[in-house]
């Protein structure tokens, strides 16, 4: 338990080996409980609250994970150290109390171990059940079992969590803090000892804007169609990095006068110098065409490029939409 109203964190008396619960109903209940929570973490899409991050040079969480890997006999010692570190990182008076669950997870498909940290807030729970007679017959009455300290189910929000390393991207950490403001709460970042990356959507949006702005300012002679072709070509790359973008611009031959160093400087200023976008995230970025008269055409980038065609010259455009059906609605 991590609660700043107490003088110190409260520890479990020992580590819990889930293998001891494998038999019977209790084992299945625990397996389902943790599997559901971990599945939500693995599948969580990055955005305002969920981020990829890398450890800084000084990270106690990283140190504990490196110490633990390969020798899990230190697990209880490390979990106590992590709980103490979270307690010390938590500001007094503002942060809510919670249970820190420290899990070592083995993912069989990748044959890889992960460290999962979940801060859960225990809450009251009422279970409605039907009592039985000694012979096992239902009494056909209703009873209520009240529990004051229950862990949240997977359908409830776990407000803070981190998994190390990132399950699907080349980052040290995937984390979430549902209680943060515009940014993930500072104390949870301080606890992890990491710096967060922009989400893939944010990176895609900034990259698209930067390419357009760079061409307009430094390469005004370049045809707009060349820029759109470049943006379309990038979606065929499995992973889009700054190196991939620069290489595609140089090899296309459509951007004479392109200054690699200046472009990379602009990427760094836009916080996308360490760009890393999956092809699916890039394809699914929402694109809008805003027309006079409050008319907006929008959709995922891949669909818009496939089904929406813009013809004409400056000041005289024609937009064609390819579809097999449509529905008219008045709103």
Q: What is the pLDDT of residues 52-98, one digit of tens each?
A: 889 998 899 999 999 998 788 889 999 999 999 998 888 877 677 78
pLDDT at 108 over 60: yes
User: In the chain, what are the domain boundaries?
Assistant: 18-121+152-196, 200-321
Q: Assess whether the previous peptide bond of 165 is cis (omega < 30° from 0).
A: yes
Torsion angles phi and psi, residue 276, rounded to 5: -155, 105
Residue 199 to residue 46: CA distance in whole angstroms = 6
Determine the average pLDDT of the residues in 259-275: 92
CA 139/CA 132 separation, integer angstroms? 5
Decide: helix, strand or coil at residue 278: strand
Q: How many CB atoms lie within 10 A of CB 190?
A: 18
Residue 154 vs residue 248, higher pLDDT:
248
Q: Is the pLDDT of residue 120 over 90?
A: no
Evaluate whether 25 touches 42 at the Cβ level (below 8 Å). Answer: no
Nearest to 105 by CA among 189, 161, 49: 161
């Amino acid at each position: 338990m991590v609660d700043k109203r107490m003088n110190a964190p409260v520890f479990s008396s020992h580590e819990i080996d889930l293998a001891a619960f494998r038999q019977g109903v209790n084992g299945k209940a625990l397996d389902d409980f943790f599997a559901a929570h971990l599945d939500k973490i693995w599948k969580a899409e990055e955005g305002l609250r969920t981020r990829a991050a890398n450890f800084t040079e000084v990270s106690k969480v990283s140190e504990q994970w490196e110490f633990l890997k390969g020798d899990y006999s230190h697990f209880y010692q490390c979990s106590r150290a992590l709980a103490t570190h979270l307690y010390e990182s938590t500001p007094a008076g503002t942060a809510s109390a919670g249970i820190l669950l420290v899990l070592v997870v083995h993912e069989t498909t990748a044959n890889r171990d992960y460290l999962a940290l979940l801060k859960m807030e225990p809450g009251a729970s009422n279970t409605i059940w039907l009592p039985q007679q000694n012979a096992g017959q239902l009494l056909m009455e209703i009873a209520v079992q009240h529990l004051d300290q229950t862990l949240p189910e997977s359908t409830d929000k776990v407000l803070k969590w981190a998994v190390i390393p990132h399950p699907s991207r080349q980052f040290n950490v995937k984390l979430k803090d549902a209680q943060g403001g515009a940014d993930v709460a500072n104390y949870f970042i301080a606890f992890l000892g990491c710096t967060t990356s922009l989400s893939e959507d944010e990176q895609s949006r900034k990259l698209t804007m930067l390419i357009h702005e760079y061409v307009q300012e430094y390469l005004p002679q370049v045809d707009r169609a060349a820029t759109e072709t470049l943006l379309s070509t990038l979606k065929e790359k499995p992973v889009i990095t700054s190196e991939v973008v620069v290489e595609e611009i140089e090899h296309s031959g459509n951007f004479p006068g392109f200054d690699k160093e200046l472009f990379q400087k602009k990427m760094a200023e836009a916080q996308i110098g360490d760009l890393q976008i999956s092809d699916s995230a890039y394809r699914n970025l929402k694109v809008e065409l805003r027309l006079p008269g409050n008319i907006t055409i929008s959709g995922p980038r891949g669909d818009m490029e496939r089904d929406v065609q813009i013809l004409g010259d400056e000041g005289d455009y024609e937009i064609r939409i390819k579809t097999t059906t449509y529905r008219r609605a008045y709103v």
